[in-house]
C-alpha cells in the first residue's frame, strides 16, 4: 500500500531552508527555496494570463512580444527564465530586470509572431 504524507510546513533539522535528500548516490543538501518557481504564467496571443503565480500584470507591447511583471521583485536579474509557445522560437527579448521578464515568439522564418499559448517560469531568488 502506498504511503501518503500530508504536511502544512516542512523544515530542515539544521537549517529552516535546507533539507537533505538521500539517494543511491549518497546524500545531498537541497535548498527548499531555490527549488521553487518564483513566477509562472500561461497567456494567450494578447498576453492575457489564463493562470499565473507571482504575476502582477502582462503586457503586449508588439507582435510576438510579451512582458510579465512580477508581483514580488526578484533579488537580481540573474534568474533563469525558460519559456515555450506554440511558435517555433522563444527568445528573451531584452535584458532581464528584477521586476519584468520579457520574451518574443518567432515563427519558422524567425519573424516575430503572436502565439496562442505562451508559458514561462522563473527560478531564482526573490528580493
**Residue 27 included in any domain:** no
**Residue 29 included in any domain:** no
Range of the structural domain that residue 74 is part of: 39-122
Q: Which helix (H) or strand (E) holds 69?
A: strand 65-70
Number of domains in the chain: 1
**Residue 31 included in any domain:** no
* Pairing between β-strand 26-31 and β-strand 18-23 as defined by DSSP bridges: antiparallel
Cβ neighbours around 84 below 10 Å, total: 14
Summarize pLDDT for 88-103 with one digit per residue, the tens.
889 887 788 999 999 9
**Residue 107 included in any domain:** yes
Summarize pLDDT for 20-72 with one digit per residue, the tens.
666 677 766 666 676 689 999 999 999 999 999 999 999 999 999 999 999 99
pLDDT above 70: residue 17: no
Phi then psi for 113, rounded to 5 degrees?
-145, 140
**Residue 28 included in any domain:** no
Give the whole-angstrom CA distance, residue 37 versus residue 89. 22
Amino acid at each position: 500500500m502506498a504511503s501518503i504524507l500530508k504536511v502544512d510546513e516542512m523544515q530542515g533539522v539544521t537549517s529552516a531552508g535546507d533539507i537533505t535528500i538521500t539517494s543511491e548516490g549518497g546524500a545531498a543538501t537541497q535548498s527548499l527555496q531555490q527549488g521553487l518557481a518564483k513566477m509562472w504564467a500561461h497567456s494567450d496571443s494578447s498576453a492575457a494570463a489564463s493562470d499565473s503565480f507571482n504575476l502582477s500584470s502582462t503586457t503586449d507591447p508588439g507582435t510576438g512580444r510579451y512582458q510579465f511583471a512580477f508581483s514580488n521583485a526578484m533579488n537580481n536579474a540573474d534568474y533563469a527564465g525558460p519559456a515555450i509557445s506554440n511558435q517555433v522560437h522563444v527568445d528573451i527579448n531584452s535584458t532581464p530586470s528584477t521586476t519584468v521578464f520579457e520574451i518574443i515568439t518567432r515563427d519558422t522564418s524567425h519573424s516575430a509572431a503572436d502565439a496562442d499559448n505562451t508559458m514561462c517560469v522563473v527560478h531564482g531568488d526573490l528580493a
